């Protein structure tokens, strides 16, 4: 069973020039992550944790309005992690899970060269887990 | 399978009034990403790394300069924790927990056994179950062998790997010649005989290796021809191989001046990972398997 069998092509993505205010709308869940794509080429993956690190501390002198304005001025590319974990079409699901667990990521872009073909998400794997265990029992 | 099988002991917890820096140090020390928060023996929340990220000053200098750094040491776990953690019983099945995590986006469950807190199960723990349920991903192995230099451990390693993973195994020897294979129209009886001889020799070598390893396995023996590395890569693609096992010859003398080994060439051409085996005496392989 390969990662390509669970490839999701319609996953939402961000542009590196998008603002953090827009990224915040895509990353509502604590484990959410979204690929950042420039003309179908993968630039990186932005996770909810990266956004949490960029947001003001709870002990800040900024007001809610000022925080909103500040987030509109910062682009996704400014907080995008330098490294990204990707898999190819032939990567096995088992290897993809191992990568997700050891690198602590919840989304793996599936790429051919720099081109992003789709993503493999933790949600799809949780569905697969429930199905697999039902098959065993 | 039940959640209780995934629990780790001892359960690492924290208290409401613990400063967040101290709680973070506990997480790092124990290599955990979640800490159940207790008031006495009562569970009142769950602290995760992302809660600590939210509490910390921004990574962006333009926003960080507005952080009230002097008050940071006063921030406690109670200020940043999630107050309504999802709680499941230790007898809940892993499949049900996976469905729940999927349905409401929960990243970690606090697990209780009766009235006692038993631990935390995260999405990563659940996916670990799936990782071990699935086959290893090695469905087919192609052992690229060289009869001229001897099988040198390639076939032994390939048989061991294939047997351990239940993978199909093909042993391929490529003749670096421009003759015609039996399948080629117009091949002479002499050419057909030569190919059969090579195929038989592969089979004999494979059988001898199996005897030394002490177990048997089905090996398909094939003979190809042409440029060696491209032909191995082409056949691996045709067979949908998950791994190529090949001999890694050590170039000697003038060969080191730019001549690339078959293994080196394959790394750039192969459609799957390549396992290069250094040449070892065959008796060593038999010894290692025991």
- State the complex-level ipTM: 0.86
So where are chain B's domains?
A: 3-132, 140-289
Provide the pairing of β-strand B86-89 with B108-113: parallel
What is the pLDDT, as a whole number, of residue B221? 85
Residues A106/A33, Cβ–Cβ less than 8 Å: yes
Give the alpha-carbon dihedral of B87, B89, B90, B95, to 10 degrees: -90
What percent of chain A has a predicted confidence (pLDDT) above 90? 44
What is the pLDDT, as a whole number, of residue B200? 83
pLDDT band, residue B186 (cuts 50/70/90)? low
- Does residue B179 sit at the A interface (CB-CB below 8 Å)? no
Instruction: Count other Cβ atoms within 10 Å, centred on residue B91.
Output: 11
Q: Which of B52, B55, B109 is nearest to B86 (CA)?
A: B109
Tell me the pLDDT of chain B averaged across its residues.
82
Quote the tokens at residue B266. 């394959």
The yes-or-no verdict on residue B145 having pLDDT over 50 is yes
- Identify the CATH class of A3-136: alpha beta
Q: How far is A136 from chain B (nearest CA, A)?
A: 9
User: Which residues in chain B (113-142) have CB-CB distances under 8 A to chain A?
Assistant: 123-124, 126-131, 133-137
Mean pLDDT of the region B35-56: 90
How far is the C-alpha of B232 from the C-alpha of B225, rounded, in Å? Answer: 9
pLDDT band, residue B1 (cuts 50/70/90)? confident
The yes-or-no verdict on residue A31 having pLDDT over 50 is yes
SS3 of A65-84: the string is HHHHHHHHHCEHHHCCCCCC
Mean pLDDT of the region B81-86: 90
The yes-or-no verdict on residue B151 having pLDDT over 50 is yes
Range ranked top by mean pLDDT from A52-61, B72-81, B100-109, B200-209: B100-109
| B140-289: CATH topology | Rossmann fold (3.40.50)
For residue B240, the chain A residue with the least C-alpha distance is A90
The yes-or-no verdict on residue B180 having pLDDT over 60 is no
Mean pLDDT of the region B182-200: 71
In CATH terms, is domain B3-132 a member of 3.10.580.10?
A: yes
Radius of gyration of chain A (CA): 17
Read off the DSSP letter of residue B188: -
pLDDT band, residue A118 (cuts 50/70/90)? very high
The yes-or-no verdict on residue B282 having pLDDT over 80 is no
The yes-or-no verdict on residue B8 having pLDDT over 90 is no
What is the pLDDT, as a whole number, of residue B290? 34
Q: With contacts defined as CB-CB under 8 Å, which chain B residues touch A66? A: 66
Sequence-separated (6 or more) residues with CB below 8 Å from residue A120:
A3, A6, A7, A8, A87, A96, A107, A108, A110
- Does residue B25 sit at the A interface (CB-CB below 8 Å)? no
The yes-or-no verdict on residue B289 having pLDDT over 50 is no
Instruction: Count other Cβ atoms within 10 Å, centred on residue B65.
Output: 13
Instruction: Count other Cβ atoms within 10 Å, centred on residue B252.
Output: 7
pTM listed for this prediction: 0.67
Read off the DSSP letter of residue B11: P
- In terms of pLDDT, which residue wins out, B39 or B62? B39
Q: What pLDDT, in 10s, does the model give residues B239-261?
A: 888 899 988 776 666 656 666 78
The yes-or-no verdict on residue B66 having pLDDT over 80 is no
Q: With contacts defined as CB-CB under 8 Å, which chain A residues touch B63? A: 54-56, 60, 62, 67, 70, 74
Contact flag B136-A94 (C-beta cutoff 8 Å) = yes
Mean pLDDT of the region A59-71: 79
Question: What length does chain B have?
Answer: 290
What percent of chain B has a predicted confidence (pLDDT) above 70? 84
Mean pLDDT of the region B271-279: 83
């Amino acid at each position: 069973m390969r990662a390509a069998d669970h490839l999701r092509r319609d996953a939402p993505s961000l542009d590196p020039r998008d603002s953090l205010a827009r990224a915040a709308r895509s990353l509502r869940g604590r484990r959410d992550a979204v690929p950042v794509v420039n003309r179908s080429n993968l630039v990186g993956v932005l996770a909810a944790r990266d956004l949490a690190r960029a947001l003001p501390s709870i002990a800040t002198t900024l007001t809610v309005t000022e925080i909103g304005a500040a987030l509109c001025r910062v682009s996704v590319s400014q907080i995008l992690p330098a490294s990204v974990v990707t898999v190819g079409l032939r990567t096995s699901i088992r290897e993809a899970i191992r990568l997700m667990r050891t690198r602590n990521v919840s989304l793996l872009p599936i790429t051919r060269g720099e081109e992003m073909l789709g993503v493999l998400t933790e949600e799809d794997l949780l569905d697969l887990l429930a199905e697999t265990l039902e098959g065993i029992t | 399978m039940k959640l209780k099988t995934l629990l780790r002991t001892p359960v690492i917890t924290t208290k409401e009034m613990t400063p967040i820096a101290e709680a973070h140090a506990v997480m790092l020390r124990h290599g955990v990403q979640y800490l159940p928060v207790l008031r006495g023996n009562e569970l009142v929340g769950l602290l995760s790394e992302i809660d600590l990220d939210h509490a910390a000053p921004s990574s962006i200098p333009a926003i960080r300069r507005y952080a009230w750094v002097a008050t940071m040491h006063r921030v406690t776990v109670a200020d940043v924790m999630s107050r309504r953690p999802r709680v499941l019983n230790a007898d809940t099945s892993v499949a049900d927990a996976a469905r729940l995590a999927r349905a409401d986006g929960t990243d970690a469950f606090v697990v209780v056994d009766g009235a006692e807190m038993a631990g935390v199960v995260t999405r990563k723990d659940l996916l670990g179950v799936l990782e071990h349920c699935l086959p290893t991903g090695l469905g087919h192995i192609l052992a690229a062998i060289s009869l001229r230099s001897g099988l040198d451990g390639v076939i032994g390693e390939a048989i061991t790997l294939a047997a351990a993973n239940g993978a199909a195994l093909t042993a391929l020897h490529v003749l670096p010649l421009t003759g015609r294979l039996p399948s080629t129209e117009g091949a002479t009886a002499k050419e057909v005989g030569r190919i059969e001889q090579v195929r038989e020799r592969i089979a004999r070598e494979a059988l001898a290796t199996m005897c030394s390893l002490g177990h048997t396995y089905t090996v398909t023996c094939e003979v190809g021809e042409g440029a060696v590395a491209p032909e191995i890569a082409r056949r691996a693609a045709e067979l949908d191989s998950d791994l190529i096992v090949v001999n890694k010859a050590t170039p000697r003398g003038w060969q080191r001046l730019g001549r690339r080994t078959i293994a080196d060439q394959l790394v750039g051409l192969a459609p799957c990972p390549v396992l290069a085996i250094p040449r070892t005496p065959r008796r060593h392989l038999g010894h290692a398997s025991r």
